[in-house]
Amino acid sequence: MGFIPMYGVAIRDAIASNDLANMEAVAEQAKQAVKEQGDLSVALLELLDAIDTLKKK
């Protein structure tokens, strides 16, 4: 199995596959992505706040 970008869809597809090996592989990839990238949802919120601040100027 190759690299799968860790979006909710990839994780949900792994769950829906009901394939334990696939689910474990995706979980490992997701853990590595979180370790490397941190919490993307927090970073997105910070970006959106910065955009709003600039639009108000």
- 11 or 20, greater pLDDT: 20
- The overall average pLDDT reported for the chain is 86
Q: How confident is the model at residue 2 (pLDDT cuts 50, 70, 90)?
A: low
pLDDT tens sequence across 28-54:
988 888 888 887 788 889 989 999 999
Q: Is 51 helix (H, G, I), strand (E, B) or coil?
A: helix
Amino acid at 42: V
How far is Cα 23 from Cα 26, in angstroms, rounded to an integer?
5
pTM of the model: 0.66
